[in-house]
């Protein structure tokens, strides 16, 4: 049984696959696959262990219907045509839960660095532009006691809400497709309509999947309804906000600042005006990028492949 690992993973997880009798084919470090290359290489394997980057579309599944299972090392699977995978009878797994704490940390980091303009300030020192700060020049704002609005209160949203509540005494409001009673009980989160979330939040943090319902949800209309003092944080998927509208909202002062770990496209072009704004911090999609979390994610993916090889259902299957 051969498995293609399309992006580098920790050595320990590749060893685990070999112990289970898989023949492992590993991509060269940093390889970015075209769809054609990935489809061609998959002709010679039985399983695929895959991260984001190259989309697995209907064409891929048509040409790779022999695959016995695909384990994703990501919680999001918007880059995979799940309907086409199901039609080809290929089980797909993802990695829920294990990246919630690491991603919530990045959301909090963005909240802090944007509210205090810390990233911009640090870069002023690096560029030799810091002349000393006058007492009222370009000040930051505080998070303590403010209202955090969470769009999509699942596992990651709740991990952020705990931090915001305990460390910063923030009030938590949220908008979700369904009410999250656990969160309401644990962090006193209050369920509100989407418009109320926009109107009442001092910080809005996105923790929803990308879907037809959430794509471009944060657009000019939404930004106009937010407080002029609001900070917008997105660590979920770049297509949930409209980048042109976000840029205009920041330039026009419709909102106060933004922190992004996800952009559209990724990587963001160096010429993007957002990158030179003092009230914006953009990170290169590092929500899950810790040794601990990436190890847990790849081990989870590996266990899903082992399950299929042993004739069992993938524990984290997304297309049951």
Task: Point out which residues bind ligand DGY (CB under 6 A).
Answer: 52, 74-76, 99, 287-288
Among residues 237, 241, 243, 294, which one is catalytic? 237
Residue closer to ligand DGY (CB basis): 257 or 287: 287
Residues 9/49, Cβ–Cβ less than 8 Å: yes
Residue closer to ligand DGY (CB basis): 74 or 242: 74
Residue closer to ligand DGY (CB basis): 215 or 225: 215
266 is catalytic: yes
CB of 187 to ligand DGY, least distance (A): 23
Residues 305/71, Cβ–Cβ less than 8 Å: yes
User: Mind giving me the DSSP string for the chain?
Assistant: -EEEE-S---HHHHHHHHHTTPEEEEPPTT----HHHHHHHHTT-SEEEE-SSS-B-HHHHHHTTT--EEEESSS--TTB-HHHHHHTT--EE---STTHHHHHHHHHHHHHHHHTTHHHHHHHHHTT------TTSS-----TT-EEEEES-SHHHHHHHHHHHHHH--EEEEE-SS--HHHHHHH--EE--HHHHHHH-SEEEE-----TTTTT-BSHHHHHHS-TT-EEEE-S-GGGB-HHHHHHHHHHTSSSEEEES--SSSSPPTT-GGGG-TTEEE--S-TT-SHHHHHHHHHHHHHHHHHHHTT---TTBS--
* HSE-up of residue 144 (Cα within 13 Å, Cβ side): 2
Residue closer to ligand DGY (CB basis): 208 or 277: 208
CB of 281 to ligand DGY, least distance (A): 17
Residue closer to ligand DGY (CB basis): 200 or 215: 215
Residue closer to ligand DGY (CB basis): 64 or 75: 75
Among residues 7, 16, 51, 285, which one is catalytic? 285
Encode burial over 243-257: b for 16+ CB neighbours within 10 A, e otherwise.
bebbbebbeeebbbb
CB of 106 to ligand DGY, least distance (A): 10
Residue closer to ligand DGY (CB basis): 156 or 183: 156
CB of 127 to ligand DGY, least distance (A): 30
Residues 240/214, Cβ–Cβ less than 8 Å: yes
CB of 103 to ligand DGY, least distance (A): 7
237 is catalytic: yes
Q: How far is CA 235 from the centre of its chain?
A: 5
Q: Which residues are catalytic?
A: 237, 266, 285
């Amino acid at each position: 049984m051969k498995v293609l690992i399309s992006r580098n993973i920790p050595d320990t997880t590749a060893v685990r696959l070999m112990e289970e009798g898989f023949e492992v084919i590993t991509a060269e470090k940093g390889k970015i696959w075209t769809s054609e290359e990935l489809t061609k290489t998959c002709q010679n394997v039985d399983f695929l262990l895959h991260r984001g980057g190259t989309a697995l579309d209907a064409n891929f599944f048509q040409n790779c219907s022999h695959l016995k299972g695909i384990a994703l090392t990501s919680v999001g699977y918007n880059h995979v045509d799940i309907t086409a995978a199901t039609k080809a009878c290929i089980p797909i797994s993802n990695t829920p839960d294990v990246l919630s704490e690491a991603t919530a940390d990045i959301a909090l980091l963005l909240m802090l660095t944007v509210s205090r303009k810390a990233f911009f300030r640090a870069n002023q020192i690096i560029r030799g532009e810091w002349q000393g700060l006058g007492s009222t020049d370009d000040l930051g704002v505080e998070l303590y006691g403010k209202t955090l609005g969470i769009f999509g209160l699942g596992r990651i949203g709740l991990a952020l809400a705990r931090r915001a509540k305990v460390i910063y005494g923030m009030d938590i409001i949220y908008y979700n497709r369904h009410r999250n009673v656990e969160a309401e009980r644990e962090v006193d989160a209050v369920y509100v309509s989407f418009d109320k979330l926009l109107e009442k939040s001092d910080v809005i943090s996105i923790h929803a999947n990308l879907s037809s319902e959430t794509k471009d949800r944060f657009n000019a209309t939404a930004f106009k309804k937010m407080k002029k003092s609001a900070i917008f944080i997105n660590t979920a998927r770049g297509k949930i906000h409209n980048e042109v509208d976000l840029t205009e909202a920041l330039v026009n002062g419709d909102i106060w600042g933004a922190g992004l770990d996800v952009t559209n496209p990724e990587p963001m072009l160096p010429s993007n005006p957002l990158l030179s704004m003092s009230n914006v911090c953009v990170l290169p999609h590092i929500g899950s990028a810790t040794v601990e979390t990436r190890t847990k994610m790849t081990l989870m993916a590996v266990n899903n492949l082992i399950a299929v090889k042993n004739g069992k259902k993938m524990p984290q299957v997304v297309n049951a």
